[in-house]
C-alpha cells in the first residue's frame, strides 16, 4: 500500500542546510515523483479527505475528524528533497509554505503548533501524512521550522491544537503568517473548544449580526456550519490592519472572503 505521497522528513542539498536529527530517507517510505520546481508551486488543488486506517512499520493509524485534538509531543521538519512532490491529499509540498504532516488529522486542516521550549507559535496547513517515529506527533515545513526555531536542534517539544478545516484553494499564506507569535512574546492561550477566532479564515464571511466597531476597526460577526462532525462556531474577522491581535483568548485574523471547501469540477 502507498502510505502517503510525500512523507514528512528532513533532508539537505548543501552543507549549509540544517538536517533534522530525526532524518529518514525518502526511500524508507517512498515519495511521489517531483511535479514542480523552484518557487512557483501551485496552491491547493487537493481534496478534503479523512482517510482510511493504515499500517506503517507495524503500527496502526486511524485517521479521523477530531475537533478537540490537543496534544504535546515532539516535532521535526522536512524540506528540500520533497519540495514539489505530491502530498497525501494531492496538493504539492512547498517548503516555503506554512504546512505540516500529521498521521491522523483530516487533510487539509489547520492546527496551531506552539514550541513549548521558546513560546513561538503559528498556525500551519496540514496536508500530508507522517511522521512515523515514536513520540513525534507532527513534522512541519522548512518555513514553519524557521519561524518555530526548530532547525538548530532538529526537533522541539511542541503543543499541537486543532483549529479547523482548511480552505481548499491553498491561498492562505498571508493569514497563516498573521497567526505567528514570536519567541519571547506572550504565549497564546488557545483552546480548541469552543472554536476560537484563530480560524476566522474558515468563516463564510456573511454578516449575521451587527456591524461592530472597536478602537476604530471594523469587525463583522460571522458564522459557519461545517460538514461532518465539525461544530458550529462563531468567528470574528478583522481588517488587514488588525492582523493577529490577541485579546485574552480572542485572536482575530484578517478577513479573507468566502471559503471553498471542495474543488470545482473541471
| pLDDT of the residue at 188 | 54
Domain contains 239: no
Residue 224, pLDDT above cutoff 50: no
Domain contains 264: no
Q: Tell me what the mean pLDDT of segment 135-139 comes to.
A: 95
Q: Tell me what the mean pLDDT of segment 145-157 comes to.
A: 93
Please state, as a whole number, how many other Cβ atoms lie within 10 Å of the Cβ of residue 65. 17
Q: Tell me what the mean pLDDT of segment 72-77 comes to.
A: 96
| pLDDT of the residue at 113 | 98
Q: What is the bridge-based pairing of β-strands 136-140 and 156-165?
A: unpaired
Q: Give the Å distances, CA to CA, from 28 to 3, 56, 243.
A: 11, 11, 41
CATH number at residue 37: 2.40.40.10
Question: Under a CB-based contact definition with an 8 Å cutoff, are residues 197 and 226 in contact?
Answer: no
| pLDDT of the residue at 38 | 52
Domain that holds residue 173: 26-187
107 Cα distance to chain centroid: 9
In this predicted model, what pLDDT tens digit does every residue of 89-135 receive, in sequence order? 888 888 889 999 999 999 999 999 999 999 999 999 999 999 998 88
| pLDDT of the residue at 11 | 40
5 Cα distance to chain centroid: 17
Domain contains 148: yes
Domain contains 123: yes
Count of the separate structural domains present in the chain: 1
Domain contains 96: yes
| pLDDT of the residue at 42 | 59
What ranges make up the beta strands (E) of the chain? 54-56, 59-61, 70-77, 99-101, 109-115, 121-128, 136-140, 156-165, 212-214, 217-224, 233-238, 245-247, 250-254
Counting residues of the chain whose pLDDT is more than 90, the rounded percentage is 38
What DSSP letter does each residue of 119-186 carry, written as one string?
--EEEEEEEE----STTEEEEE-HHHHHHHT-TTTS-EEEEEEEEEEPPTT---HHHHHHT-B-TTSP
Question: Which range among 106-110, 206-210, 238-242, 262-266 has the greatest average pLDDT?
Answer: 106-110
> Which of the four pLDDT bands, split at 50, 70 and 90, describes residue 197?
very low
112 backbone dihedrals φ, ψ, rounded to 5°: -95, 130
| pLDDT of the residue at 72 | 98
Give the C-alpha separation, 23 to 17, whole Å: 13
Nearest to 163 by CA among 204, 126, 205, 206: 126
| pLDDT of the residue at 227 | 29
Give the C-alpha separation, 13 to 172, whole Å: 28
Residue 73, pLDDT above cutoff 60: yes
Domain contains 7: no
| pLDDT of the residue at 127 | 93
Domain contains 244: no
Domain contains 10: no
In this predicted model, what pLDDT tens digit does every residue of 15-59 receive, in sequence order? 444 444 433 344 444 555 555 445 565 565 668 899 999 999 899
> Which of the four pLDDT bands, split at 50, 70 and 90, describes residue 8?
very low
Give the C-alpha separation, 170 to 93, whole Å: 11
> Which of the four pLDDT bands, split at 50, 70 and 90, describes residue 189?
low
Q: Tell me what the mean pLDDT of segment 62-66 comes to.
A: 96
| pLDDT of the residue at 217 | 37
Question: Under a CB-based contact definition with an 8 Å cutoff, are residues 102 and 126 in contact?
Answer: yes
Mean pLDDT, the chain, rounded, equals 67
Question: Under a CB-based contact definition with an 8 Å cutoff, are residues 60 and 163 in contact?
Answer: no
Residue with cell 458564522: 223
Residue 231, pLDDT above cutoff 50: no
Amino acid at each position: 500500500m502507498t502510505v502517503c505521497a510525500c512523507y514528512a522528513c528532513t533532508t539537505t542539498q548543501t552543507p549549509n542546510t540544517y538536517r533534522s536529527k530525526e532524518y529518514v530517507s525518502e526511500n524508507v517510505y517512498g515519495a511521489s515523483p517531483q511535479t514542480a520546481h523552484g518557487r512557483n508551486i501551485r496552491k491547493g488543488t487537493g481534496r478534503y479527505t479523512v482517510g482510511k486506517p493504515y499500517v506503517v512499520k507495524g503500527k496502526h493509524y486511524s485517521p479521523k475528524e477530531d475537533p478537540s485534538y490537543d496534544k504535546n509531543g515532539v516535532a521535526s521538519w522536512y524540506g528540500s528533497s520533497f519540495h514539489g512532490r505530491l502530498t497525501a491529499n494531492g496538493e504539492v509540498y512547498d517548503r516555503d509554505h506554512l504546512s505540516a504532516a500529521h498521521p491522523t488529522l483530516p487533510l487539509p486542516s489547520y492546527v496551531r503548533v506552539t514550541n513549548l521550549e521558546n513560546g513561538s507559535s503559528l498556525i500551519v496547513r496540514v496536508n500530508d501524512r507522517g511522521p512515523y517515529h515514536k513520540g513525534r506527533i507532527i513534522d512541519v515545513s522548512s518555513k514553519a521550522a524557521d519561524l518555530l526555531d526548530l532547525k538548530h536542534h532538529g526537533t522541539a517539544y511542541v503543543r499541537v491544537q486543532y483549529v479547523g478545516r482548511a480552505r481548499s484553494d491553498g491561498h492562505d499564506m498571508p493569514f497563516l503568517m498573521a497567526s505567528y507569535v514570536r519567541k519571547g512574546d506572550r504565549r497564546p492561550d488557545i483552546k480548541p473548544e469552543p472554536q476560537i477566532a484563530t480560524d476566522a479564515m474558515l468563516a463564510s464571511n456573511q454578516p449575521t449580526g451587527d456591524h461592530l466597531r472597536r478602537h476604530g476597526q471594523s469587525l463583522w460577526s460571522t458564522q459557519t456550519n461545517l460538514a461532518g462532525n465539525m461544530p458550529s462556531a462563531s468567528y470574528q474577522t478583522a481588517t488587514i490592519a488588525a492582523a493577529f491581535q490577541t485579546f485574552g483568548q480572542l485572536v482575530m485574523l484578517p478577513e479573507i472572503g468566502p471559503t471553498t471547501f471542495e474543488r470545482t469540477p473541471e
